[in-house]
Amino acid sequence: MCRSMSRSTVVVHGATGTQGSPVVRRLLAAGHRVRAVVRSASAPGLPAGAEPVVADLSVPASLTDAYAGADAVVVQLPLAFAADSAVPQAEAVLGALKGAGVPRAVFNTGGPPVAEPIGVPFVDARVLLAAELPGVVDVAAVVGPARTYMENLAAPWSLPLVAGGEIAYPLAAELPVPWLALDDLAAAIAELVTDPAPPPLRIVAGPQALTGDQAAAELAAALRRDLRWRTVEPGEYERMLAPHLGPEAAAGIAAAYTPPPPGTPPPPAPDPALIRTGTTSLREWATRQDWRC
């Protein structure tokens, strides 16, 4: 039987990262106790009020200890692309959830949810975790963005280009994209932690579907400077990412933007009932960012 979620102990993976920090802040503001999974007790960037708990995804027993007595776990897997690390990390989380008897888990896929393995360890680990989660906890919820994050536009690999008047991204200029703020994703995750009957899948979209030129216009209005959109090939995007994320992660992320072979049918559109729309517009989000290089 699930425990009361009015004031819960919630374990959060990736608590010091760009996706995990807003989740921690949301949960703390709601009055929950937060255990932040870190690899070192002195990990920088941990939101005030969270309790660090040292654990490692490569050491399953450490996860079981970290989850002990928790009411819920928010799982966010790292950017791991090697076959010998990505899938074992998902397996370790599943084993620890079962071993610790955690009643509820919310899994943030970190990208648009994928239903079937595709032979890419980073993706396949997420497919495995999403598929197996309902069998190891009483209440399981999977959440992910409809497309991509606003924060990518202010990331270190994008800032110098924005300063020069350009948004470079591996998406077609004519494609309408519901850019999502990570704080809106965090709000959805925090709700799923306490929802008495959460949907098994929640897709979160931004409030506006913008083409490349429209996205550039929104940022230009917020930054009060001229900006243009430029579609780049995945290979160029990989070269942008590599100095900041390393060659393996850069190659893996860029591969996710590689168009499918000609003739491949498009993925089915998500059920509108599964979509939660965020409230943060791209222009509003942009006014809050530090755009200094």
Tens-place pLDDT, residues 89-115:
999 999 999 999 999 999 999 988 888
Mean pLDDT value of segment 20-38: 95
| Residue in the structure block whose two tokens are 């925090």 | 190
In DSSP notation, 5-39 reads -SS-EEEETTTTSTTHHHHHHHHHHTT-EEEEEES
Top-confidence residue, 2 or 182:
182
pLDDT of residue 270: 80
pLDDT of residue 2: 46
pLDDT of residue 205: 97
Is the pLDDT at 216 greater than 80, yes or no?
Answer: yes
Write out the residue range of the structural domain in which residue 124 sits: 9-146+180-205+265-278
Q: For residue 76, what is the domain's CATH number?
A: 3.40.50.720
SS3 164: coil
Contacts of 282 (CB under 8 A, 6+ apart): 150, 179, 206, 208, 210, 215, 218, 219, 222
Assess if residue 36 is contained within a domain.
Answer: yes
Assess if residue 63 is contained within a domain.
Answer: yes
Low-confidence winner among 64-68, 213-217, 255-259 (lowest mean pLDDT)? 255-259
Assess if residue 290 is contained within a domain.
Answer: no
Question: Is residue 94 within 8 Å of residue 126, measured between CB atoms?
Answer: no
Question: Is residue 211 within 8 Å of residue 174, measured between CB atoms?
Answer: yes
SS3 203: strand
Assess if residue 155 is contained within a domain.
Answer: no
pLDDT of residue 147: 92
Dist CA 58 CA 91 (whole Å): 10
pLDDT of residue 6: 65
Is the pLDDT at 276 greater than 80, yes or no?
Answer: yes
Q: Which of 41-55, 57-71, 256-270 has the highest mean pLDDT?
A: 57-71
pLDDT digits (tens, 9 = 90+) for 53-81: 999 999 999 999 999 999 999 999 988 88
Chain-wide mean pLDDT for the chain?
92
pLDDT of residue 163: 95
**3-state helix, strand and coil shares in percent for the chain, rounded to the nearest 5:** 40, 15, 45
Q: pTM, whole model, 2 decimals?
A: 0.92
pLDDT of residue 230: 98
Assess if residue 119 is contained within a domain.
Answer: yes
Assess if residue 289 is contained within a domain.
Answer: no
Count up the domains in the chain and report the number. 1
pLDDT band per the 50, 70, 90 thresholds, residue 120:
confident
The Cα-based distances of 223 to 155, 162, 214 in angstroms read 16, 10, 14
Assess if residue 243 is contained within a domain.
Answer: no
Residue 99 burial (10 A CB sphere; 0-12, 13-18, 19+)? middle
Q: How would you classify the pairing of strands 201-205 and 228-231?
A: unpaired
Assess if residue 246 is contained within a domain.
Answer: no
Mean pLDDT value of segment 217-232: 97
Mean pLDDT value of segment 160-167: 96
